[in-house]
Structure 1
Amino acid sequence: MRHIIVGSRQSALALTQTNQTIDQLRELCAANNLAYTFEVKPIITRGDRILDVTLSKVGGKGLFVKEIEQALLDEEIDFAIHSMKDMPFELPEGLIVGAVPVREDARDCVITNKAHSLEELPQGARIGTSSLRRAAQLQAFRSDFQIESIRGNIDTRLRKLQEGEFDAILLAGAGMHRMGWKDKITDYIPASLCLPAVGQGALAVECREADQEVRQLLQLLNDPTTERTVAAERRLLGLLNGGCQVPIGAYAVEHSDDPTMLTLTGMVAAPDGSTVLKESFSGTDPEQVGEQVAQALLNRGAGQLLVEVSE
């Protein structure tokens, strides 16, 4: 019986989604007569250590995964569970995404006790978010909103809201669902108003390319639909060279009447919301769809926007 060590960030959300995924894997192992034991190893990442500045100022890709990937390469852990939206497009040599489980709700959500929805928030409402992507789209929606940076885990952000530091906070709905806090959500923000981050709501299970046994095990977790839609989103991310410091959004969905077809919508914005570029494309090949949307955005000036943000 092989004992498998699983790497995870040490936040409550990261450990919760890691343990939920391991529980799924245990059930799948039992159903397939496979004998494995699992142990979680929490790892502190650079993104967890630096909490006093905005994500965009910390910069750099792989802010929440680099130390975990090093543990994989050093064979201290056997696989790791990340939020897909934290994953850079290019992985270190020797590592692969071994599985993409079923996606949770990809939408952003608003939490407030001042209104029933984003639209009903009072004039000049102070809104907390750590995401340039959310901030840009929100400013484009309502320029009167006062967008302020908020860092820390979900608990910390909810406490700051309760203490009156903000009128509302924006979070990924998936994290609230996984924590069992659906009832705290005031309203969901439609993708048409605020396009999610690349891979939002999905998980990435990363492992060593050479570990065939673990790769085979992880395939039990893989969801082909989520894998395809996220592949389209990540192809766009790769071509636009996007990191945490760039307002990029993307969301792909399969067609209900023809699951071989998917539609990807991509977005690049100026941080102040003064310019928001959006493009959509449909097709059967996720990589090609991602390339088409990225190219359409670049043709409209997305490249210049991204350069200005990065400077």
Structure 2
Amino acid sequence: MTQQPLRLGTRRSKLAMSQSGQVAEAVRQVTGRPVELVEITTYGDVSREALAQIGGTGVFVTALRDALIRGEVDFAVHSLKDLPTTQPAELVLAAVPQREDPRDVIVARDALKFTDLPRGARIGTGSPRRMAQLNAYARSHGLDIETVPIRGNVDTRIGYVRDGELDAVVLAAAGLNRIGRIDEVTDFLSVDTVLPAPGQGALAIECTADNADLIAALGELDDPFTRVAVTAERSLLAALEAGCSAPVGALADLLADGQIVKEMRLRGVVGTTDGTRTVQLSTTGPVPETHDQALALGRELATEMLAQGAAGLMGERAH
């Protein structure tokens, strides 16, 4: 007897379809059941406004979550950086698979590196976080750049460079990796230059909280280290009371001695988009063993950042 396919809800974009397809294959392997992709259009996909203007938080997620709650799909795949920090009671984050490269990258004309861009170079990004850190770096290193707000999929963004409208665009390494276009990158931005968005490079696999069998099956794909890292990053974001379109960067990474993981370091940054003011701090401690310990790590760093004026740098998004 043929088993009913599991229905995986995904956004329609090329990147979303690619990463959902990879998750679907992994779920087939752990469950032995067929998986079909169900394409869902989200508000963030159809709106042409800047993400910061339409709220940012949840614009790529709400329609998928609604489909889950209505029983139209069995589980959904999100880019974790798009998820609001508040988890609905009826849904559960069943798995956070091993994280891809969390870094931001540059795709520039003439194969240029970021620091080799000409004076007055126009760099496109739709992210206030990227604008804040690129402009701060440029100010402190004597670079003359202009950050230009853009929207659109990978093809659209890289097209601005190919057509000569922009000198460079900033994208996530993970997305380009997942669609097989990482060879178009001209520079990988060190996390010491630009901290990624909380959760960047990680995926979230979500299903309803009452589906114990599916939760257990999807849990096979969970990577414990990735989960505690992104939990700490998202806890920082939540404690700053900032949405996923706010100019906040965060990265928790594991500090290892050879093969032995010793500690976790959490770094956070908040800045004004013009790069004139930033608050950047870090904390290092034992690798969290529980969800609550990871939450506490994020909250502690956020408290220190707020004490140094972080809320004032986020403007209205801090409220």
- Band of TM-score, shorter chain: over 0.9
Find the residue that maps to 2:234 and give its secondary structure. Answer: helix
Aligned 8 A contact 1:271 1:309 in 2 = no
Per-residue deviation at 1:309?
A: 4.9
Instruction: Quote the residue 1:224 is aligned against.
Output: 224
Q: Give the structure-1-normalised TM-score.
A: 0.94
Query: 2:47 is matched by which residue type in structure 1?
Result: I
Change over 3 Å in CA distance of 1:185–1:60 after alignment to 2: closer
Instruction: Quote the residue 2:291 is aligned against.
Output: none
Instruction: Quote the residue 1:36 is aligned against.
Output: 33
Find the residue that maps to 1:243 and give its secondary structure. Answer: coil
Instruction: Quote the residue 1:76 is aligned against.
Output: 72
Q: Deviations over 1:248-287 (max 9, x none)?
A: 0000011212525211001111121111111101123322
Instruction: Quote the residue 2:155 is aligned against.
Output: 155
Computed over aligned residues only, the root mean square deviation of the Cα atoms, in angstroms, reads 1.4
Aligned 8 A contact 1:108 1:188 in 2 = yes
List alignment gaps of at least 5 residues for structure 1: none
Aligned 8 A contact 2:105 2:172 in 1 = yes
Instruction: Quote the residue 1:292 is aligned against.
Output: 300
Find the partner of 2:109 among 92, 110, 113: 113
Find the residue that maps to 2:281 and give its secondary structure. Answer: strand
Query: 2:307 is matched by which residue type in structure 1?
Result: N
Q: Is 2:21 aligned against 1:24?
A: no
Instruction: Quote the residue 1:174 is aligned against.
Output: 174
CA distance in 1 between counterparts of 2:165 and 2:304 reads: 40
Q: Give the structure-2-normalised TM-score.
A: 0.92
Query: 1:297 is matched by which residue type in structure 2?
Result: M
CA distance in 2 between counterparts of 1:198 and 1:262 reads: 15
Per-residue deviation at 1:114?
A: 3.6
Instruction: Quote the residue 1:188 is aligned against.
Output: 188
Aligned 8 A contact 2:281 2:301 in 1 = yes
CA distance in 2 between counterparts of 1:245 and 1:103 reads: 21
Q: Deviations over 1:131-176 (max 9, x none)?
A: 0000011111114211111111101111221111110000000001
Find the residue that maps to 1:198 and give its secondary structure. Answer: coil
Instruction: Quote the residue 1:271 is aligned against.
Output: 273
Aligned 8 A contact 1:115 1:121 in 2 = no
Q: Which runs of 4+ in 1 moved over 4 A?
A: 308-311
Aligned 8 A contact 1:71 1:77 in 2 = yes
Query: 2:32 is matched by which residue type in structure 1?
Result: A
Per-residue deviation at 1:106?
A: 0.2
Per-residue deviation at 1:15?
A: 0.3
Q: Deviations over 1:82-115 (max 9, x none)?
A: 0000001002220111000010000000001245
CA distance in 2 between counterparts of 1:310 and 1:55 reads: 16
Query: 2:42 is matched by which residue type in structure 1?
Result: T
CA distance in 1 between counterparts of 2:198 and 2:70 reads: 28
Moved more, 73-82 or 135-144: 135-144
Aligned 8 A contact 1:245 1:310 in 2 = no
CA distance in 2 between counterparts of 1:266 and 1:146 reads: 24
Instruction: Quote the residue 1:11 is aligned against.
Output: 13
Aligned 8 A contact 1:270 1:309 in 2 = no
List alignment gaps of at least 5 residues for structure 2: 289-293
